[in-house]
Structure 1
Amino acid sequence: MPQLLQKVKSKMFIFAHRKARGMLDGEYDAIFRGRSLDFDDLRGYVPGDEIRDIDWKASARHGSPLVKRYVAIRKQTVLLVADTGRNMAAVAGGGEPKKDILVMALGVIGYLALKHGDSVGLVHGDAERTTAVPARGTEGHLESLLQRVNSSIGLDSARSDLTAQLSYIAKNVRQRRLVFVVADEHPISAEQERLLRRLCAQHEVLWLVISDADLASGEALSRESIDVDQLDTVVSMLAKDPRLATEYQRAVQQRRLQITNALARRNIPMEWLGHSNDVMATLFSLLERQRHAQR
């Protein structure tokens, strides 16, 4: 069985020679620095308090602004949320299997967490089932999480649908977490938006989308491809009908705009990723977005 975490470390080592890995470490650390995560009680607002800490409902009842006070804790918990439906068995925009990119992204975030003394848990699944693994702070545990994700994805899996995984977190995860979601390029449903509204009130949420391959490109049209969502051949139709190919491209643009806008409405930092070679730079950008969102 290949050691997936070792592949992650090797990728990070190569990245260190090009981009200075310390910058990525710094962005991760900045998300939690000076920010306690366990709610304690309420106190009166004083100038200089963060506006986002105001409890608006309690303030309305009290008649003056109240802010949430948190208990400082030494270690944080990162909750990896992985789409392991059969959509992740497809090829990504950069030409490699989506699940390879998924494992690499989860591995990098998980390894950063371990380096900072934090623990890592996992919630993953598809439209039919959700599995949760409690958080621990060891490399052996992270390796087992990556192996679990890698082995869960295949064409025999159910379709991707993060609704069940988000619902599980909303119902069962009470303590504040850094929730790192890696999803397929799939529209955000109204129910998912509702769940994200709840999650964002309690957790720090980051979202990474692994992009679909461009089925209307010249290279894609030269071969038969399978739509893993519907398990049907689709490319031949695009090759034979230029108008249909144009409509396909328009639908892709609309879908990506819908995803971007839905997450923006919840102020969730997000990035698109199409190849494992871009994981480091993309995660740096994502963590940077989260740091600025906290200001």
Structure 2
Amino acid sequence: MPKERITSDKSKDRKGPKEVYVTLQDLIKLQFEARGFSFLPKYAVQSILSGRHRSKLRGRGLDFDEVRKYIPGDDIRNIDWKVTARVGVTHTKEFTEEKERPVLFVVDQGTHMFFGSKLYFKSVIAAHLAALGAWRTLEVGDRVGGLVFNGTKDYFVMPKRNRQAVQRFLSRISEFNQVLSTDKVTLKFDNPLLEALKKTNEVVTHDYLVVVLSDLNYANDQVIKQLIRLKKNNDVIFGHVWDPLEKEILAKKITLSDGEYQILIAKDKTLKNNYKKAQAALLQKTQEDFKKYGIPFLSFSTLESPAHQLRALISSNKRKR
């Protein structure tokens, strides 16, 4: 990949540690890490994050796909005379053709993502994943764009096949990330993720790959319905960003706060056990819902580098068919 000149952010100084806040420079630099993985996943699911896919087309294409019964209107030049002679029924060859698709990243930068008990904040993980996916998609020659949102506003970048569009999208992600804080925010919508998906459904037509990067804070039945609607004519991937503290409270003594109220959790084992069971049940139900509707569900934690996790999940050397 050719070198990209790193432009400066609007703010001269980084607002906080790189594990807490991202800058445009951080996201641009990730283009050099957007390699070593394939957009065909290890799992037997649809292609992931990539721009290239294979679609069945009647007639001539790039590669032979299958032989099927002849249907009036098919190109007679594709009739398989050997199969036709053997079974006594006219059969035709069908081919596949590689076809371009635009990729759209829906990136959550809401206040609920401004959290992390280990190495990274969830908002940083989501930003890095979007940047890695955007650079990789551009590298294989497909259009890429996205929608970044935070519950009070959003910004949409139309998928294009150029670095300027990618940099504009990453710049918006950085801007949304830089305003995150522990201050209480009045949300414009009760469910920001739901509203973001509604808008995505308004702008996406068909044959897109839509990659949603968020946590499960706002995942409910209405969100699932919007994802199902998207999936009717597109591929949809849900990148679940999570923190270990959201699954289990291991600390003997911890104070949790939402910026307005706080609670001290110390020796209450019952509370900790109930919390662990409730979170496990929520995760299991969500995973079952996604599996039921054929929506790949990939988890990314705040424990390690997003690039490392992405390679581990969809490494070109570890695919399963």
Change (3 A) 1:124 1:285: same
| Distance (whole Å) between structure 2 residues aligned to residue 240 and residue 204 of structure 1 | 46
Under a length normalisation based on structure 1, what TM-score does the superposition of the two structures give?
0.71
1:24 matched residue in structure 2: 38
Relative to structure 2, which stretch is displaced further, 94-103 or 25-34?
25-34
User: What is the CA deviation profile of residues 86-116 of structure 1, one whole-angstrom value per residue up to 9, with x for unaligned ones?
Assistant: 1111116x43111111111111111110001
Unaligned runs of 5+ in 1: 38-45, 50-68
**Which amino acid counterpart does residue 285 of structure 1 have in structure 2?**
L
- Contact 2:27–2:170 (8 Å) recurs in 1: yes
1:233 matched residue in structure 2: 262
| Distance (whole Å) between structure 1 residues aligned to residue 38 and residue 102 of structure 2 | 18
Shift of 1:75: 3.6
Unaligned runs of 5+ in 2: 1-8, 10-22, 42-47, 58-65, 70-93
- Contact 1:78–1:178 (8 Å) recurs in 2: yes
2:298 matched residue in structure 1: 271
Is 1:195 matched up with 2:223? no
- Contact 1:181–1:208 (8 Å) recurs in 2: yes
- Moved segments of 4+, more than 4 Å: 25-31, 46-49, 71-74
1:18-167 equivalences in 2 (<5 Å): 21=36, 23-24=37-38, 32-35=52-55, 75-91=100-116, 94-153=118-177, 154-155=180-181, 156=185, 158=187, 161-167=192-198
| Distance (whole Å) between structure 2 residues aligned to residue 126 and residue 243 of structure 1 | 34
Alignment partner of 1:169 out of 200, 225, 243 = 200
Provide the aligned length of Structure 1 versus Structure 2. 250
| Distance (whole Å) between structure 2 residues aligned to residue 98 and residue 29 of structure 1 | 19
Alignment partner of 2:249 out of 199, 209, 217 = 217
Tell me the percent identity: 17
- Contact 2:51–2:140 (8 Å) recurs in 1: no
Give the number of the structure whose residues are more often helix, by fraction. 1
Relative to structure 2, which stretch is displaced further, 154-163 or 100-109?
154-163
| Distance (whole Å) between structure 2 residues aligned to residue 218 and residue 170 of structure 1 | 40
1:280-295 equivalences in 2 (<5 Å): 280-282=308-310, 285=313
Change (3 A) 1:177 1:104: same
Alignment RMSD, CA only? Answer: 3.5
Higher Rg: 2
- Contact 1:188–1:258 (8 Å) recurs in 2: no
- Contact 1:4–1:146 (8 Å) recurs in 2: no
User: What is the CA deviation profile of residues 110-129 of structure 1, one whole-angstrom value per residue up to 9, with x for unaligned ones?
Assistant: 11100011111112224454
Shift of 1:258: 2.1
- Contact 1:160–1:184 (8 Å) recurs in 2: no
- Contact 1:211–1:273 (8 Å) recurs in 2: yes
Change (3 A) 1:210 1:204: same
- Contact 2:128–2:306 (8 Å) recurs in 1: no
Change (3 A) 1:287 1:87: farther
SS at match of 1:175: coil
